[in-house]
Amino acid sequence: MARHLLNVNPNTVSWAGLVSALGAGLCFYQGGAGFLGAAVILVLVSSYLDALDGKIARLANKASPRGDFLDHVFDRYADVFLLSGVALGIYCQLWIGLVALIGVMLTSYMGTQAQAVGQGRRYAGILGRADRLVLLVVGGVIQLIVAPAGGVAWGASSVAFQPLEWFMVVFAVLGNLTAIQRAFAIWRGFAP
């Protein structure tokens, strides 16, 4: 696909991915079968465009630090749009969504902080961005099948969450563990 789009500005593709993520977040927030189905499709579109923009830039010899910067900024906004849509909507308790968002943002921050202190960008860890996007799609599909209108919780007493909410719990736990994992790796990267 990237070879067919060499005349397209990669930044335009990045913008399209960002708009798709915004649409997905709004659909997650709205909830219900139609909106939830649209959210899942828009997450897939956004993810595909996010992978495509860099490939187009490299194949067309248009890769640049400016484009890389724009891509990373848009990735963070996309993360906020997607997770906020779930956190503020009918499928998740706000506090769980907030902890998930903190974990996702700190994971990204640790990756760029490593670069800022001269250790190179860090992408390693338990839960990366691609993993989160795949899990968000899976969680959205499960929620769509089980209870598109929300309100169905799995678990026991105080540890019962909606299907999509369980994925936000995973993001909250593994996102924060990934941030801590990267922080320790950066710390060890300093000479004694």
Predicted confidence at residue 184, as pLDDT, reads 92
Radius of gyration of the chain (CA): 18
Q: Please name which of 66, 50, 44, 86 lies closest in space to residue 171, comparing C-alpha atoms.
A: 86
Predicted confidence at residue 105, as pLDDT, reads 94
Task: Return d(Cα 91, Cα 28) in angstroms, integer.
Answer: 8
Q: Contact, 39 vs 27, CB < 8 A?
A: yes
pLDDT in tens, the chain (192 residues): 777 778 888 899 999 999 999 999 999 999 999 999 999 999 999 999 998 998 898 888 888 889 889 999 999 999 999 999 999 999 999 999 999 999 999 999 998 898 889 888 888 889 988 999 999 999 999 999 999 999 888 888 788 899 999 999 999 999 999 999 999 999 998 877
Indicate the DSSP class of residue 32. S
Task: Return d(Cα 164, Cα 142) in angstroms, integer.
Answer: 7
3-class secondary structure for 104-165?
A: HHHHHHHHHHHHHCCCCCCCCCCCCHHHHHHHHHHHHHHHHHHCCCCCCCEEECCEEECHHH
Provide the CA 176 distance to its chain's centre, in angstroms.
14
Q: Which fold has domain 2-189?
A: Four Helix Bundle (Hemerythrin (Met), subunit A) (1.20.120)
Predicted confidence at residue 8, as pLDDT, reads 83
pTM: 0.91
